[in-house]
């Protein structure tokens, strides 16, 4: 192997190592978030939203939800999306059913504006949120 091959191999191994370190860091963030205190949140609004595009450039539209919660007398808000996870999308109008619904959110006690939805599935859909290891980043942008 010549010097160029060695340089490419080192760069490739460094990229793989950096990716693995990032993935472990993200998994640890989720683990820590599961230990945060929880409070009740209310879903305030819901609508389909383009949250990214797939490998072919086709827009990915998910159900996006805005919620609010209260910690220590202060109100905070957040947004998450639901991606169909079962064979068929949820029956009926998911957005209408979810508005007004209560759910539990965990919040960072040092920074209550930082939140995490501990549920992995809601209404048969996978919760998509900013906190966690994502390859696609299919969650609503702030």
Structure tokens at 57: 């450039």
Asked if residue 34 lies in contact with residue 106, where contact means CB atoms within 8 angstroms, the answer is yes
Structure tokens at 34: 């599961």
Structure tokens at 140: 């609503």
The domain segmentation of the chain, as residue ranges, is 34-128
What is the pLDDT, as a whole number, of residue 78?
Answer: 94
Note the pLDDT tens digit of each residue in 6-50. Answer: 777 777 777 776 666 665 666 666 676 778 999 999 999 999 888
Note the pLDDT tens digit of each residue in 43-99. Answer: 999 998 888 777 788 888 888 999 999 999 999 999 999 888 765 666 568 888 899
SS3 annotation, 21-89: HHHHHHHHHHHHHCCCCEEEEEEEEEEEEEEEECCCCCEEEEEEEEEEEEECCEEEEEEEEEEECCCCC
What strands, in cross-sheet order, belong to the sheet with 111-116?
111-116, 102-108, 38-53, 59-71, 74-84, 125-128, 121-122
Cα(115)–Cα(9) distance, rounded to whole angstroms?
40
What is the pLDDT, as a whole number, of residue 90?
Answer: 61
């Amino acid at each position: 192997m010549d010097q160029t091959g060695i340089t490419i191999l080192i760069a490739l191994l460094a990229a793989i190592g950096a990716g693995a370190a990032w993935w472990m860091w993200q998994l640890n963030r989720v683990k820590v978030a599961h230990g945060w205190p929880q409070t009740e949140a209310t879903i305030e609004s819901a609508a389909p939203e383009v949250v990214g595009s797939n490998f072919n450039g086709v827009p990915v539209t998910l159900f996006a939800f805005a919620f609010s919660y209260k910690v220590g007398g202060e109100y905070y808000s957040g947004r998450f999306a639901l991606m169909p996870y079962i064979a068929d999308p949820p029956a009926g109008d998911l957005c209408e059913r979810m508005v007004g619904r209560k759910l539990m959110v965990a919040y960072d006690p040092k920074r209550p504006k930082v939140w995490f939805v501990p549920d992995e599935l809601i209404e048969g859909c996978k919760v998509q949120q900013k906190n966690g290891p994502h390859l696609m980043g299919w969650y609503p942008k702030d």
